[in-house]
Every structure is written in structure tokens, then in C-alpha cells.
């Protein structure tokens, strides 16, 4: 069901116009707009109008516990012995939406045999990868559905490949493509391990776990996120152990199984799990943002000695699950960025990051507080004309109420204090 509303709401800042919403069948865990670029199967007209939503559903009926499940002892005098818990069953779905002319349409939807935890498009290509709750990584693109008489052609999902890269008991929590090398993919697991995977062919038919199949890094708890600096000299990882790790690595054009990687530093500053990492492009200093369960975003800069210095931080009132780049102004002396933050129980927020002389500032310039039940996934429509002052279409979601909201951000309107 889609609801369309154009109204002012205290849950939104004055520079946001709520357009419409939809309640999904399953909880949304990740979403991403299609990039502009080529597809191996067809050219998609106005690809920036489309976005894909992945869902994650834990089937609670499979985890219900009875006394017979927990006790394996016949004699009342014996110490009860707990039996092995039943494995949790998860499923999910992929949905393709089109937002055009202020109208949101569901174009295609397919079931997925596991929970989906992350999805990302290859840079400049309309092919995307999916991370699952059963250790698999899948690849999809799109094909044209043959229309019936008088009906317009629609896009449908096209499955390319699925690989059981890890054990079926392991959750692939996040995936990250290496910039400028779509054959390389980072994967983080609930075991705390981070792996680098090579897919040598364009059809993703085979893969190799690099580093002699050993993890690049192992956190003390879930490895939530990874990222790569634009110079390809560092890999950043974040875990539920509240650690941010920086690894020195030189990613070659043709990778080998044996990689030279060293842990250069573990910057301090996080009071809870590190859940988001976003490198900033186009800066001489290698700078990146982190988000954390401790409700803060933080800006770091890698120093000449290889250590990361905390530059500034800001409290956002909710765990910062994901960060995405809205746009950037490439001013040599005063660069400025806008970020879209998914803040779990505090909703979606837009941040403006600016450099003034020797200081950096973080300002919260827009907010959407409609989401009350874990905003894990948000994204922004690709900038078509390159004008940073253009109005931007954003999509945000919340998990437990299965809500998807489309809204417009006007950067020329200044919001008053919350």
C-alpha cells in the first residue's frame, strides 16, 4: 500500500518534503539506487529512477523453545543437560522500485532463500552483489520482461551467480567493492573476520579467497563494516568490539593469493561498536568518517606516520548504522561534503561537513524522525546535473514496522533548531 502526503510535520525539518511511503511485506535491511552506467544485458532508461531493497526476516517460529528442547536428562536427580539449539531460519526478498513523476511503483520482487544483510552495485554498472545470512554472496543484474499487448516493458531481476563462500552458519554482515577494481570484494562476518575475495571473470562464475584463504583481520566480535581509502593504500574495518582498525595494503591490479597486509593502527575514540565507515574523496589528507552504536559520527585523518587522528565528532542521538555521501564541493581551500546518516532509533539525518581554515565542522542540516523502529537503510538518488544546490530525492526505511519513505531535501532552505 502506498500513501502519498505533502505536508509539514514536526518529525521533519523544514527543508524536507515528505512525498510518499509504502509498507513492505518484510523488514528492510539495505537499499541502494541504481548507478548511472552500463548493463551487460540492456541499457536502462533513466536508471537513477530505480532502487533495490533487500529484506531480512527471522522466522521466530523456528526458534521457539520447549522444555523438551532444553533438557536431555531422564533422571530428575541428574544435572539437566541443555541440548543443541535449533538453527534459526531466515528468509528475505529483493524488490525493485521506480520513483518517477512523484509516483512510487514496485517493478519486480523475488523471494530470497536467506536473510539479506547488505547489497551494493558495482561502480558504474547495473550489477549488484548480495550478502546473506547463510554465508553466500550472490550477483544480479536486470533483464527486460516481454510485455503483453498494450503493456509497457518492465525490468526484472536476473540472477547471475551465487557462491557458498563461507559456512552456512556464518552471516555475511557487509560487502564492499574495491574502487577501480570490480573483481575484488571485501566481506565482513559475524565471526569478526574480514576477507578479500577475487572474482576473476565478468560473469562472477568463480572466486578465490585471497591472502591464502586467511582473514585480513579478525575482530573480537562481529565485524560490522569495511571500507577502502581512495588511494587503495588502506583498508578500514570496524567491529562490535568497539575497535576501528587500519590496515596497510597495496592492492595490485592483478591480485595474488599472498597479500602483503599489516595492521598499522587501532585509533581510539569509540565507546561502542563501529558500524559505519565512509572515506572522503578528493582530499590530500586521507580522511574518513565513522559511525558507531555510541550515537556519534567521527572524522579521522591518517597522519604521515600512518596513525589516524580524531579531528572532530558529533552526537546524533541514535546509533549511526550507515553513512552515504550525498555530494561534495571540490573547493581546494574549503572543501564541503553532505552525508546521509541512517541513525537507527533516531531516523535519517543529513550532515554538512565543512573545512574552515584549520578546523572542520559537522552540522546537522536536515532530519527525518518518522522512523521509530531502527533506520538501518537509506540512500539518495544520484545527482544528474552535478548541481549541489539541486533538490535531492532520498529513500529511508525502518526495520520492524517495514516502512519505506520517499522524501525530498532542499539544500537552499535552512532548517531551524530541532
* C-alpha cell recorded at residue 193: 573476520
What is the reported pLDDT for 212?
A: 87
Among residues 90, 138, 140, the alpha carbon closest in space to that of 113 is found at 90
What is the reported pLDDT for 142?
A: 94
Residue 80 CB burial class (10 angstroms; 0-12, 13-18, ≥19)? exposed
What is the reported pLDDT for 84?
A: 46
What is the reported pLDDT for 148?
A: 64
pLDDT at 398 over 80: yes
Range in 56-65, 296-305, 367-376 with the lowest mean pLDDT: 56-65
Mean per-residue pLDDT for 220-243?
93
* C-alpha cell recorded at residue 365: 542540516
pLDDT at 318 over 60: yes
H or E element, residue 68:
helix 67-70
Kindly report the average pLDDT of the chain as a whole number. 86
Mean per-residue pLDDT for 234-244?
95
What is the reported pLDDT for 33?
A: 97
Mean per-residue pLDDT for 225-235?
89
Among residues 199, 241, 202, 201, the alpha carbon closest in space to that of 224 is found at 241
Range in 14-28, 89-103, 193-207, 281-295 with the lowest mean pLDDT: 281-295
pLDDT at 152 over 50: yes
pLDDT at 77 over 50: no
Angle at 242 between CA 239 and CA 244, to 5 degrees: 65
The pLDDT-based confidence of 86 (bands split at 50, 70, 90) is low
What is the reported pLDDT for 322?
A: 97
* C-alpha cell recorded at residue 61: 517460529
pLDDT at 87 over 50: yes
Q: Are 368 and 11 in contact (CB under 8 A)?
A: yes
Dist. CA 381–CA 395, nearest whole Å = 8
pLDDT at 356 over 80: yes
β-bridge partners, 99 = 104
Q: pLDDT, tens digit, for every residue of 158-193?
A: 999 999 999 999 999 999 999 888 899 999 999 999
* C-alpha cell recorded at residue 75: 533422571
Mean per-residue pLDDT for 204-218?
93
Range in 2-11, 46-55, 92-101, 123-132 with the lowest mean pLDDT: 2-11
Residue 12 CB burial class (10 angstroms; 0-12, 13-18, ≥19)? buried
Q: Are 131 and 116 in contact (CB under 8 A)?
A: yes
Q: Are 162 and 106 in contact (CB under 8 A)?
A: no
Checking 205-212 for CB contacts under 8 A at 24+ apart, the result is 205/161, 207/137, 207/163, 207/165, 208/257, 209/165, 210/255, 210/256, 210/257, 210/259, 211/257, 211/258, 211/259, 211/261, 212/257, 212/258
The pLDDT-based confidence of 233 (bands split at 50, 70, 90) is confident
Tell me the percentage of the chain whose pLDDT exceeds 90: 63
Tell me the percentage of the chain whose pLDDT exceeds 70: 82
Mean per-residue pLDDT for 318-333?
86
Mean per-residue pLDDT for 82-96?
74
pLDDT at 75 over 60: no
Over the range 216-226, which residues count as b (16 or more CB within 10 Å of their CB) and which as e? bbebeebbbbb
Cα–Cα distances (Å) from 377 to 20, 75, 114, in that order, read 17, 51, 18
What is the reported pLDDT for 62?
A: 43
Q: Are 335 and 283 in contact (CB under 8 A)?
A: yes
Dist. CA 380–CA 342, nearest whole Å = 12
Mean per-residue pLDDT for 52-73?
58
* C-alpha cell recorded at residue 373: 523502529
What is the reported pLDDT for 71?
A: 25
What is the reported pLDDT for 259?
A: 65
Its pTM stands at 0.88
Range in 44-48, 83-87, 155-159 with the lowest mean pLDDT: 83-87
Mean per-residue pLDDT for 16-36?
96
Amino acid at each position: 500500500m502506498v500513501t502519498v502526503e505533502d505536508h509539514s510535520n514536526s518529525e521533519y525539518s523544514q527543508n524536507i518534503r515528505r512525498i510518499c511511503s509504502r509498507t513492505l511485506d518484510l523488514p528492510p535491511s539495505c537499499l541502494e539506487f541504481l548507478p548511472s552506467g552500463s548493463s551487460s544485458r540492456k541499457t536502462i532508461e533513466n536508471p537513477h529512477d530505480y532502487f533495490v531493497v533487500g529484506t531480512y526476516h527471522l522466522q521466530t517460529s523456528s526458534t521457539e523453545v520447549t522444555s523438551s528442547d532444553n533438557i536431555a536428562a531422564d533422571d530428575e536427580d541428574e544435572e539437566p543437560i541443555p541440548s543443541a539449539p535449533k538453527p534459526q531460519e531466515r528468509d528475505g526478498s529483493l524488490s525493485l522500485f521506480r520513483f518517477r513523476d512523484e509516483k512510487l511503483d514496485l517493478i519486480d520482487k523475488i523471494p530470497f532463500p536467506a536473510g539479506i544483510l547488505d547489497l551494493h552495485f558495482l561502480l558504474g554498472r547495473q550489477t549488484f552483489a548480495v550478502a546473506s545470512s547463510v554465508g553466500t554472496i550472490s550477483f544480479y543484474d536486470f533483464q527486460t520482461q516481454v510485455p503483453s499487448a498494450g503493456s509497457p516493458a518492465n525490468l526484472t531481476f536476473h540472477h547471475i551467480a551465487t557462491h557458498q563462500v563461507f559456512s552456512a552458519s556464518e552471516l555475511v554482515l557487509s560487502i564492499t567493492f574495491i574502487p577501480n577494481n570490480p573483481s575484488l570484494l571485501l566481506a565482513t562476518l559475524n565471526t569478526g573476520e574480514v576477507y578479500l575475495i577475487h572474482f576473476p571473470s565478468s560473469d562472477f562464475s568463480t572466486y578465490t579467497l585471497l591472502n591464502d584463504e586467511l582473514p585480513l583481520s579478525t575482530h573480537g566480535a562481529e565485524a560490522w563494516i569495511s571500507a577502502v581509502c581512495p588511494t587503495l593504500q588502506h583498508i578500514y574495518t570496524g567491529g562490535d568490539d568497539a575497535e576501528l582498525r587500519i590496515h596497510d595494503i597495496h592492492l595490485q591490479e592483478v591480485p595474488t593469493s599472498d597479500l602483503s597486509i599489516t595492521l598499522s593502527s587501532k585509533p581510539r575514540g569509540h565507546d561502542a561498536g563501529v558500524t559505519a565507515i565512509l572515506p572522503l574523496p578528493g582530499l590530500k589528507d586521507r580522511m574518513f568518517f565513522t559511525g558507531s552504536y555510541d550515537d556519534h559520527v567521527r572524522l579521522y585523518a591518517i597522519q604521515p606516520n600512518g596513525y589516524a587522528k580524531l579531528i572532530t565528532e558529533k552526537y546524533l542521538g541514535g546509533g549511526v548504522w550507515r553513512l552515504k555521501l550525498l555530494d561534495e564541493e571540490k573547493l581546494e581551500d574549503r572543501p564541503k561534503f553532505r552525508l546521509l546518516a541512517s541513525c537507527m532509533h533516531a531516523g535519517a539525518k543529513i550532515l554538512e561537513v565543512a573545512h574552515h581554515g584549520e578546523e572542520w565542522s559537522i552540522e546537522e542540516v536536515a532530519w527525518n524522525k518518522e522512523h521509530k523502529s531502527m533506520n538501518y537503510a537509506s540512500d539518495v538518488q544520484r545527482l544528474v546535473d552535478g548541481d549541489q544546490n539541486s533538490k535531492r530525492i532520498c529513500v529511508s526505511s525502518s526495520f520492524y514496522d517495514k516502512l519505506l519513505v520517499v522524501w525530498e531535501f532542499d539544500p537552499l532552505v535552512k532548517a531551524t533548531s530541532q
